[in-house]
Amino acid sequence: MKFHIPLSESQSKLSQSSAEFINLFQHGSLAVELYQPDQIDKQKPHTRDEVYVVVAGQGTFFYDGIRKEFKTGDVIFVPAQIEHRFEKFSDDFMTWVFFYGPEGGESNPE
């Protein structure tokens, strides 16, 4: 079972791919990807909850009508079905993406 995902190996796999993201690990509902969009983030809302951990770069994150600055090391949570995207990001921008939970997202009793 895979339990360690080195960034350098993941970057190498992504650079060898024609895609802007690569799926690196799957366990139950958890999927781990590395994502590096090329100038424009074309994401659409996803069907599951997700967490981003910014590996490199900076920019603006659009989340359900709100824009916030982000930088290397930041963690961003996005519930399922929420419109979101990275905007005005630096050329070196790259992020881990963690999808998890059921389709439609987890409920959050408040």
Determine, yes or no, domain membership for 66: yes
User: 26 has which bridge partners?
Assistant: 31
- Alpha-carbon span 70 to 40, nearest angstrom: 16
Supply 59's token pair. 């920019």
Helix (H) or strand (E) run with residue 55 in it: strand 49-56
Return per-residue pLDDT of the chain as tens, 110 residues: 678 999 999 999 999 999 999 999 999 999 999 999 999 999 999 999 999 999 999 999 999 999 999 999 999 999 999 999 999 999 999 999 999 999 999 987 66
Q: Do 69 and 79 form a contact (C-beta atoms < 8 A)?
A: no
* Domain that includes residue 87, residue range: 21-100
Full-model pTM: 0.93
Tally of domains within the chain: 1
Determine, yes or no, domain membership for 14: no
Determine, yes or no, domain membership for 107: no
CATH code of residue 26: 2.60.120.10
φ and ψ at residue 10, rounded to 5 degrees: -65, -40
